[in-house]
Structure 1
Amino acid sequence: MIAWLRSLFKGLYRISSVLIFLLLWEIAPRLGIVDAIFLPPFSQVAVAFWQLIITGELFTHISISLLRSLLGFSLGLSVAIPLGLLIGWFKGFEHFIDPLVQTFRQTSTLALFPVFILLFGIGEISKVAVIFWGVQWAVLLNTISGVKNVDPLLIKAAKSLGISKFSLFIKVILPASMPSILTGVRLSATHSILVLIAAEMLGANAGLGYLLFFAEANFLIPKMYAAIITMSLMGLIVNYSLVSLEKRVLKWKEELPSGT
């Protein structure tokens, strides 16, 4: 019983900051501290959120956004991870391509969205393309860093056993760089949602970005905040899901003897 109460209080403590924020959100407009027209009480936003759920409108927009995000994200990983492994492993290739990589990664993703529209039109391809571009850099740079920062003692120990270069890469370099790669994947996953929302606000007829833009344009303020909350919840779910996956994939690190 005591253990259950401790778990309950611990859980409440973890979410106490969120509860306090929502309470302030509810009270401030009602007391006139902020204009209720532009920041309605949280209860009104909750009602709008519930209406989006029961009508099914919210799930329609979420599914469309998730499909776009997943497609662009998957394509981005399929390029960024192999390229990062190559750049991190082959120094000659790194010296050749690094100036181009540094130039591209400094270019704003959303600044290129008009270019993608010109190349691919205003349909789905341009939105997937902007996500594909936006998710590249965190994964790419983390993959390069992971490969280059592998413990040299591990490499020397493997070479002393007469391991081939290919086996060294597969059995030593890739597993040792996996934590850094997964960190880049987690950062890129949440970034892909943010980029997509912005792209949908600029040109779409469905999706969370479109829902946000439509609500703002028609002065449906509670609905607009409901869309923003949905985006935040999506980001949290994606982040914690990837954290859980990362722990499962890297479980072998926890099982290593101390001092290894």
Structure 2
Amino acid sequence: MTTTTVEATRALPAARGSRAKAFLRRRRPLLLGTLGILVMLAAWQVCASTGVVDETISSTPLRIAAAEGHLFGSGEIWAPLRLTGLEFGLGLGITIVAGIPIGVLLGRVRFLDEMAQPVINVLNAVPYVMFLPIIIFWFGIGNTSRVLLVVWAGILPLIINTIAGVKHLDRDFVRVAEVFCAGRLFFMRAVALPAALPFILTGVRLALARALVGAIVAELFLASGGLGYFVQTATANFDMTGAMAGIVIMAVVALILTRAIGYLERRLTHWSGSQPNR
């Protein structure tokens, strides 16, 4: 065996170890997050099994897992999940399509921003549920009211973050655009929006979470279907396992969507140099 072959054989385990370390470093937030969830579930199960908490009130992870299998196996959960998904998707779509242009406009036009700030601050400080009677009075208790509540819940964080992103543009970007005599629309499209993208995607992540809460709240008060109504019905029937199963589905959906937005942030704003560890 030659010296080169010996060195290559010795280097192979080191290379494998380096790749394993790199993989663990990249996946560390996911692995630690999964470990935290498993520890919480294990503690919950132990507390329920030892009588520290009442199983009839808190249920247990094992019971909830069995209930999830029954709900998806029988197809009972698909109709509520589909209804909530439609309301949430439509409301979030309207939020993004309307919220980003409004935020960009307010961020670039000073007098409009000064006019809108008191209204935005008031609406953001007052819980949107407080406006539910007004929404019902104006739009009834149909799909329009539920979608409007989703939009109301999610649009303000998106507008506020977009305004902040547009206001904090790098001065070098603005100077370069001025040197090349960029028009207002071109500047908005080619400079302001890309530069504000980290703020905008953070706003989308916040809007997503609040919009999902808005969809569930709307179903608690205004619907005869959906995940919120499913959980409310299960709770009214003292089926805490079924109610917790519905809540777990909401949590998983929220986690998946949040991770998806985090992935987009890493892919689209890697140039910003301020990426969060996820």
Indicate whether the TM-score tops 0.5.
Answer: yes
Name which of 121, 143, 148 aligns with 2:162: 143
* Mapped pair 1:77 → 2:60: no
Moved more, 27-36 or 4-13: 4-13
Matches within 5 A, 1:235-250: 235-250=254-269
- Following superposition, the deviation at residue 12 of structure 1 comes to 5.2
Distance 1:54 1:206 in 2: 19
Moved more, 218-227 or 195-204: 195-204
- Following superposition, the deviation at residue 162 of structure 1 comes to 2.7
Deviant stretches of 4+, over 4 Å: 1-14, 251-254
Unaligned runs of 5+ in 1: 255-260
Partner of 2:6: none
Partner of 1:166: 185
1:37 counterpart SS class: helix
Task: Indicate how the Cα distance of structure 1 residues 56 and 174 shifts in structure 2: closer, same or farther if over 3 A, else same.
Answer: same
Distance 1:14 1:188 in 2: 22
Partner of 1:226: 245
Name which of 29, 49, 72 aligns with 1:30: 49
**1:8-44 per-position Cα deviation (integer Å, ceiling 9, x unaligned):** 8967554222111111111111111111111122111
Moved more, 28-37 or 96-105: 96-105
**1:123-182 per-position Cα deviation (integer Å, ceiling 9, x unaligned):** 111100101111111100001000000011221122123323332222211110111111
Distance 1:173 1:241 in 2: 24
Distance 2:215 2:119 in 1: 25
Partner of 1:180: 199
Distance 1:187 1:163 in 2: 32
Distance 1:190 1:100 in 2: 22
Bigger Rg, structure 1 or 2: 2
CA RMSD of aligned residues (A): 2.1
Partner of 1:257: none
Q: Count residues with an aligned counterpart.
A: 254
Distance 2:31 2:172 in 1: 45
Unaligned runs of 5+ in 2: 1-12, 274-278
Task: Indicate how the Cα distance of structure 1 residues 141 and 43 shifts in structure 2: closer, same or farther if over 3 A, else same.
Answer: same
Partner of 1:133: 152
Distance 1:28 1:141 in 2: 42
Distance 1:24 1:139 in 2: 37
1:133 counterpart SS class: helix
Letter in 2 for 1:16: L
**1:70-103 per-position Cα deviation (integer Å, ceiling 9, x unaligned):** 1111112222111111110011211222222222
Matches within 5 A, 1:26-175: 26-175=45-194
Q: What percentage of aligned pairs have identical amino acids? A: 28
- Following superposition, the deviation at residue 65 of structure 1 comes to 0.4
Letter in 1 for 2:84: S
Letter in 1 for 2:41: L
- Following superposition, the deviation at residue 247 of structure 1 comes to 2.6
Partner of 1:211: 230
Distance 2:118 2:159 in 1: 14
Partner of 1:258: none
**1:162-215 per-position Cα deviation (integer Å, ceiling 9, x unaligned):** 323332222211110111111101110121111111111112111110011000
- Following superposition, the deviation at residue 112 of structure 1 comes to 1.2
Distance 1:198 1:41 in 2: 25
1:115 counterpart SS class: helix
Moved more, 2-11 or 151-160: 2-11
Distance 1:165 1:201 in 2: 45
